[in-house]
């Protein structure tokens, strides 16, 4: 694992081969590197990158969790989707809480943007990295989207 500094605290990035297999909040300082994942995360936090292209390998999780992570990966930069909308997209409208649990188990947060998943009515609820980090990520994306739209 290597660690980068970010506006939401140190992030540990686990890479095996060419693929990112984990992102950890609050990692202790460790080896730094110029791996493409580190470069892309730094560009994301600088507001210069809106779509990650590094290979990601989602390990573990149930079939349902992997399906949720697939839906999360489709959420466009700067947008939000509710837990209920993801449950409905997966064919089980009553599974909003299970979607929340799957989001919490996302092994590659930020790159697979579970922070873009919110409660009904846009309510800020749940996030494995804490609500402050979720809010800051959403604010970063909103600011970057506005800057790009309005110059």
If we measure between CA atoms, which residue out of 140, 129, 112 comes closest to residue 46?
140
Q: Where are the alpha helices (DSSP H) in 7-95?
A: 36-45, 63-73, 83-89
Q: Let me know if 103 is a catalytic residue.
A: no
**In what helix (H) or strand (E) does residue 117 lie, and over which residues does it extend?**
strand 117-118
Instruction: Please pick, among 3, 102, 114, 118, the residue that the annotation labels catalytic.
Output: 114
CA 5 to chain centre: 16
If we measure between CA atoms, which residue out of 14, 39, 40, 37 comes closest to residue 25?
14
Query: d(Cα 19, Cα 37) in Å, to the nearest integer?
Result: 9
Place of tokens 């959420």: 75
Q: Tell which phi-psi region holds residue 38, choosing left (phi > 0), alpha (psi between -120 and 50) or beta.
A: alpha
Q: Which amino acids are annotated catalytic?
A: 114
């Amino acid at each position: 694992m290597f660690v980068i500094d970010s506006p939401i605290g140190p992030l540990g990035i686990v890479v095996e081969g060419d693929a990112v297999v984990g992102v950890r909040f609050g990692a202790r300082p460790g080896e730094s590197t110029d791996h493409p994942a580190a470069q892309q995360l730094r560009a994301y936090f600088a507001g210069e990158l809106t779509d990650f292209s590094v290979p990601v390998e989602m390990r573990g999780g149930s079939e349902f969790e992997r399906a949720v992570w697939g839906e999360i990966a489709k959420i466009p930069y700067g947008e939000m989707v509710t837990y209920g909308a993801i449950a409905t997209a997966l064919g089980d409208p009553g599974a909003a809480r299970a979607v929340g649990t799957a989001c919490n188990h996302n092994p590659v947060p930020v790159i697979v943007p579970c922070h873009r998943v919110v409660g009904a009515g846009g309510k800020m609820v749940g996030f494995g990295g804490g609500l402050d980090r979720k809010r800051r990520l959403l604010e970063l994306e909103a600011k970057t989207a506005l800057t790009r739209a309005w110059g």
